[in-house]
Amino acid sequence: MSRHKDETNSADLLRGNTVLLVLAVLRDGAAHGYAIGREVARRSGEALEFKAGTLYPLLNDLEREGWVESRWSGPGEGRPKRVYELTESGRSELMRRVGVWTAFSQAVSQVVEGGPREVGGGG
């Protein structure tokens, strides 16, 4: 049996990037827990799906870090919902994580595709 776990499973790929995904969804506006999960699924073409039970602990972590803040939705917005929005510090964290992710995904792509093309290399 291979020592290397099959990492093509979307749950494995999702792990470690959940903070980035939630912050990215909240960049476009405040949302409640259910809407965040649905938006991640929608944007990924249903490839990524949050286990709902892990979403609220994660939102709690983000709030404790000061990256998101929450409030109850106002009257006239249907059933009362706890709505989360990005703070300035959360926006900075998102930028940082996007930078790390972009560099990493580009590096992996280059390896998979055979490396960067050398400029003016090889006669």
Partner 1 sequence: MAASAVSLWEELVSEEIWPEAAREYADRVSALLVGLVPVDRRERLRSEIAEHVTSAAEELTGTGLEPCEAMRRALREFGDAESVAESFYESWSGRCSRRVLGLDAFALAAFAGPLVLASGFLQVRAWAPGVEASDIAVPSVLFYGLAPSVLTTPELGWATSLALVLVLMGPWVGGWLVGRRHAFRAGRRAAGVLAFLCVVAGLSAAGMWPLSEGVLLGLVVLVYWLPVGVWFSSWVSLVARSNRTGGLGVGG
Task: Give contact residues for partner 1 (rule: CB under 8 A).
Answer: 32-34, 38, 51-54, 56-58, 60-61, 79-82
CB of 116 to partner 1, least distance (A): 39
Say how far apart CA 116 and CA 55 lie, in whole Å: 38
CB of 54 to partner 1, least distance (A): 6
Q: Toward partner 1, which CB reaches closer, 53 or 75?
A: 53
CB of 52 to partner 1, least distance (A): 5
Say how far apart CA 21 and CA 42 lie, in whole Å: 12
| b/e 53-67 (16+ beta carbons within 10 angstroms → b) | eebeebbeebeeeeb
